[in-house]
Amino acid sequence: MLDLKEIVEHKEEVKRALSKRAVDVSTIDYIVELYRKRRDTLTELENLRHMRNEKSSEIGKLVLAGLDSISLKEEMKEVSKRIKLLEDEIVETEEELNKALSNLPNIPDESVPVGVDETSNVEVKRWGEVKKFSFEPKPHWEIGEINEIIDFERGANLAGAKFVSLRGFGATLSRKLINFMVETALRGGYCEISPPFLAKREVLYGSGQLPKFEDDLYRITEDDLFLIPTGEVPLVNLHRNEIIEKSILPLKYVAYTPCFRREAGAAGKEGRGLIRVHQFDKVEIVQFAEPEKSDEALSQIVAQAESVLQALKLPYRTMLLCTGDMTGFSTSKTFDIEVWFPSLNRYVEISSCSNCKDFQARRANIKYRDNSGKLRFVHTLNGSQVAVGRCLAAIMENYQNEDGTFEIPQVLR
């Protein structure tokens, strides 16, 4: 959530910044209007409460003196009615204010390029050589069927379209990849967490998925719980409503979780196979950092994710997303790491690494005390390390042989 004080005091700057994300900036004017309405109502309410207290004392003195207090009592009845009306008005105004604030995305960092779509993204790194095959490379879903390790039909029979079942060596290799990624993060100084795969409404609010993206989530109605769309959700909320000791920052966590999303995904080739499905495995890394060190933390997270692909010898490129392609609601700056898919003849996102600054910490109320003793919101950062299904697919395609079999990267043997 954005800082209300910042919005009110620097309205035009905030409007200019959010306009880069194609946000309707009239919302900012509405928020400032609600803020002023609440402020004025509070002022009137406090004045009336003060008056009522004074008059109540005056009524008490009149009663003790045996003097008439009826007219004053009647006047105070009207004041009490007005106070109740103002109290209700404040509650209503605050609900509208919080609703408006909750639907505003994070402000893009000044270093983020301005653009309307992916054509304005900036390539900052390219690693590995794209292999030239002496034959027409097969897509991973064909390789999976040839080797009998991916069962699309039975996955769909069990749960519907875009659900996949891995079998035999496919399931084994997926599990090995998860373990490899977690172990890689542990060597990078991360603490492993095994969180619940369900989350409360306020937890998804804290990480920024609610209220805006509720339609993309799977919900258990009876308990008002949600299947997590990413491991970022529980990891970011591990310290909700807490004050973290500055001496233990940065906090670094890693977790394997299944992830669940309703998104329909793309049509055509990218809509097939393991690239876009409703349930997928992911290893997520998250850091809680001091504001002055969050840029450094983001670089560490990107390098950590890249190290997985380098160890697997999978060619990739790292892209700094522009304002128009930065779809993460809570993010201020995002690097996407894209792995090469021979069947598509292009790079495909396999990891997204973001600095959310204090946006999530405000929503989840996560603070630390700085050297002066002042309470400040921490900065939260997250990154995929990496999407397991896409990594499995990338290995199958980049390490394939002409007969449809594929090699295993040396680091996994």
Beta strands per DSSP E along 137-289: 150-151, 165-166, 191-192, 198-200, 219-220, 225-227, 242-244, 251-260, 279-289
81 burial via Cβ count (<10 Å: 0-12, 13-18, 19+): exposed
- Residue 407's contacts (CB-CB under 8 Å, 6 or more residues apart) are 399, 401
- Residue 271 tokens read as 């809509």
**Catalytic one of 21, 261, 272, 363:** 261
Instruction: Tell me how crowded residue 20 is: count the other CB atoms within 10 A of its CB.
Output: 18
Is 349 part of the annotated catalytic residue set? Answer: yes
Q: Respond yes or no: is residue 110 known to be catalytic.
A: no
Strand partners, 256: 283
Question: How far apart, in whole angstroms, are the C-alpha atoms of residue 233 and residue 250?
Answer: 18
Per the residue annotation, which of 174, 306, 390, 397 is the catalytic one? 390
| Intra-chain end-to-end CA distance of the chain, in Å | 45
Asked if residue 252 lies in contact with residue 285, where contact means CB atoms within 8 angstroms, the answer is: yes
Q: Which of 378, 112, 102, 333 is nearest to 240 (CA)?
A: 378
| Contact indicator for 192, 182 with CB cutoff of 8 Å | yes
Angle at 323 between CA 275 and CA 107, to 5 degrees: 115
Q: Which of 174, 276, 354, 384 is catalytic?
A: 276
Task: For residue 175, indicate whether it is catalytic.
Answer: no
Which residue in 317, 349, 362, 376 is the catalytic one? Answer: 349
- How far apart CA 21 and CA 16 sit, in angstroms, is 10
Residues in the chain: 413
Is position 276 annotated as part of the catalytic site? Answer: yes
CA 350, CA 275: separation in Å to the nearest integer?
Answer: 9
d(CA 176, CA 149): 14
Residue from 352, 354, 363, 384 carrying the catalytic annotation? 352
Which residue numbers are catalytic? 261, 276, 349, 352, 390
